[in-house]
Amino acid sequence: MLASVWRSGFRNAILIDSSPMRHVLALLALIAVALPALPQYDQPYRPQVHFSPREHWTNDPNGLVFFDGEYHLFFQYNPFGDVWGHMSWGHAVSKDLLHWEELPVAVPEKDGVMIFTGSVVVDHENSSGFCKPKTECLVAIYTGYQEHFPGGTRQAQYVAYSVDRGRTWTNYDKNPVIDLKMADFRDPSVFWDEERHRWVMAVSLPKEHDVQFYSSTNLKQWALLSEFGQLGDTDGDWECPDLLRVPSAQDPTKSTWALKVGLNPGAPQGGSGEQYFFGAFDGKTFTASHEKGAHGWTNYGKDDYCAINFNNIAKDEKPVLLGWMSNWEYAAKLPTSPWRGQMSLPRRLSFVKDVEGLGLKQEPVVETLRDGAATTLTSAPREAPFELQVTFDPKAEQIFGMRIYSDKEHYVEIGFDRKNQQLFMDRTKSSVTVAQEFPGTTVAPLTEGRGFDLHVIVDRSSVEAFAQDGTIAMNNLVFPTKPQVRVETFGSKPTSAQVWKLKSIWK
């Protein structure tokens, strides 16, 4: 009992006990009052600008949606421990995509059905009939997973709804709404097709490397439209599909469709990764483009998976993508406690088109966390979180970049290799070795003519790098040996280098 009271932070509780132990209990209570509060979000490796749950395991972000002035982040969550299991939907809300308030579990495992990945939409017109009269409500479409189904496991698509701004949820009494009687059929992503006035779902057949598209007018009855697959990389399961319209960075009046698909295992850097296809969607069929740059990887690091975009974002805003910052190769071995798992920074999406082809541009949402004006980059020790923007001379050395180090033996290198035309991040000597698959160097192909700029966000246990005006993204976890690090450039002196201290999202 005392342990649970202590962990909950009820330091000022007065314990009254008539047993012989009352004096001991009173003494412990006084000690608890005298000691400082245990910090909930200040443990070693606790992210300071990335969302992580207060405790326990998390993986994929789910049900990202903006509604009634709040951004909702639901997420795969084990309420009972720091390893995968008992999958339910955790829940947090934010006014600015950065400062999150964690709420109670939204949709818990129930009656032998785990709550796998899915999406949430705003039912503006009460097409589902779930909303109160003349009001809007939230509808969740998710995969229900039955581990002990007769004849094996079963995955099917389920629906739940909320009429109180996402605080409580009711499961549809005629679930599941799509059941192919398959062991692997998951991760529905649903959006409103304004032009055709109906709902569209993208959902994965992982083993077949296919994405199925369905349509519905009421979120309960669904009709198969088409399938897309067997393109790009098919070395692992296809998961977490997301179909969205992406605006042009050069001309916001223009846009194109993009289909994002997770791959696990088999990504180029090992383990989990995500590819995207630019193309056309006619309301029924997605057709991939064959233009140069129309197929690529959302992130070239090892730690960004199952990223999805927020539903119900204003039409004049760029879509916002958020992913799980980990990798299934070692996710269960991360040296963090009492939580395990974190989200990436949110990124605003657009596309670029130049003489070298198409590119997916990602801009991290971080500016409002800057603590004061930018300062000149020096090698003075600094504590995470902080942000760097560095530009190098295009006539520089063959290999150049920056080194972030705890000491001479432990560091991360981020740089450009002109000979091999690659961006690289080397965490081989970064820190604590989490698993055999953890050390290594991740690389991304450079595009001729897009420059040598780096935008880097360093948190207590991660480095997110964006290069070539955001058309390359690379996220990697790191676990430094010391809380303070130094930054220095190597190979070539930068033409500009700025650094900002970032404020914690928990303070």
**65-109 tens-digit pLDDT:** 999 999 999 999 999 999 999 999 999 999 999 999 999 999 999
The residue-averaged pLDDT of 127-155 equals: 96
Alpha-carbon span 478 to 327, nearest angstrom: 13
**Residue partners of 213: CB distance under 8 A and separation at least 6:** 200, 201, 202, 224, 225, 226, 227, 228, 243, 284, 285, 286
Are 297 and 185 in a shared domain?
yes
The tokens describing 54, both together, are 């207060």
Higher pLDDT, 431 or 3: 431
**pLDDT single digits (tens) 481-502:** 999 999 999 999 999 999 999 9
- Residue tagged active-site, from 17, 42, 60, 173: 60
44, part of any domain: no
- One DSSP character per residue, 260-309 reads EEEEES--TTSS-EEEEEEEEE-SS-EEE--STTSEEES--SSS-EEEEE
Does residue 53 have a cis peptide bond before it, meaning omega lies within 30 degrees of 0? no
The tokens describing 275, both together, are 């590819």
Domain stop point among 301, 331, 362: 362
The residue-averaged pLDDT of 281-299 equals: 98
**pLDDT single digits (tens) 308-337:** 999 999 989 999 999 999 999 999 999 999
- Residue 121's alpha-carbon distances to 6, 140, 162, 165, 322, in angstroms, are 39, 7, 11, 12, 16
397, part of any domain: yes
The residue-averaged pLDDT of 199-210 equals: 99
pLDDT of residue 232: 96
Domain stop point among 342, 362, 382: 362
Angle at 368 between CA 364 and CA 374, to 5 degrees: 90
The tokens describing 333, both together, are 């071995």
Whether the predicted pLDDT of 221 surpasses 80? yes
DSSP state of 5: H
For the domain that residue 291 is a member of, what is the CATH number? Answer: 2.115.10.20
- Residue 250's alpha-carbon distances to 253, 352, 353, in angstroms, are 9, 7, 8
Alpha-carbon span 412 to 426, nearest angstrom: 6
Q: Tell me how many domains the chain contains.
A: 3
| Spatial contact of 336 and 233, defined as CB atoms under 8 Å apart | no
Alpha-carbon span 89 to 109, nearest angstrom: 8
Are 192 and 249 in a shared domain?
yes
pLDDT of residue 6: 30
Whether the predicted pLDDT of 23 surpasses 70? no
Are 314 and 370 in a shared domain?
no
41, part of any domain: no
**pLDDT single digits (tens) 359-404:** 999 999 999 999 999 999 999 999 999 999 999 998 878 999 999 9
Are 278 and 160 in a shared domain?
yes
Domain stop point among 362, 392, 420: 362
**Residue partners of 376: CB distance under 8 A and separation at least 6:** 497, 498, 499
Identity (one letter) of the amino acid at 441? Answer: T
Whether the predicted pLDDT of 439 surpasses 70? yes
65, part of any domain: yes
For the domain that residue 371 is a member of, what is the CATH number? Answer: 2.60.120.560
User: Please, what's the largest Cα pairwise distance for the chain?
Assistant: 83
DSSP state of 218: S
Are 352 and 387 in a shared domain?
no
The residue-averaged pLDDT of 401-410 equals: 94
- Tell me whether strands 152-162 and 137-149 are parallel, antiparallel or unpaired: antiparallel
412, part of any domain: yes
The residue-averaged pLDDT of 334-343 equals: 98
Whether the predicted pLDDT of 34 surpasses 50? no
Alpha-carbon span 189 to 204, nearest angstrom: 9
> What percent of the chain has a predicted confidence (pLDDT) above 70?
92
| Spatial contact of 310 and 71, defined as CB atoms under 8 Å apart | yes
48, part of any domain: no
Alpha-carbon span 402 to 386, nearest angstrom: 14
The tokens describing 403, both together, are 């080194």
- Tell me whether strands 399-407 and 386-392 are parallel, antiparallel or unpaired: unpaired
Are 192 and 235 in a shared domain?
yes
Whether the predicted pLDDT of 15 surpasses 60? no
Are 399 and 451 in a shared domain?
yes
pLDDT of residue 332: 98
pLDDT of residue 395: 83
CA 11 to chain CA centroid, Å, is 34
Are 28 and 116 in a shared domain?
no
Are 382 and 254 in a shared domain?
no
Are 256 and 278 in a shared domain?
yes
Please report where in the chains the tokens 């975009």 appear, as a residue.
309
pLDDT of residue 39: 61
pLDDT of residue 10: 29
Catalytic, 251? Answer no
Whether the predicted pLDDT of 5 surpasses 50? no
486, part of any domain: yes
Are 20 and 7 in a shared domain?
yes
Are 76 and 18 in a shared domain?
no
Beta strands (DSSP E) in 373-493 are 375-376, 382-383, 386-392, 399-407, 410-417, 422-426, 441-445, 453-459, 462-467, 472-477, 484-490
In this prediction the pTM is 0.91
What SS3 class is residue 333? helix
50, part of any domain: no
| Per-residue b or e along 250-275, where b marks 16 or more CB atoms closer than 10 Å to that residue's CB | eeeeeebbbbbbbbbeebebbbbbbb
Domain housing 6: 2-34
Average confidence score pLDDT of the chain: 93
- Find, among 205, 217, 220, the residue nearest to 160 by Cα: 220
- Residue 20's alpha-carbon distances to 23, 24, 25, 26, 33, in angstroms, are 7, 8, 10, 11, 22
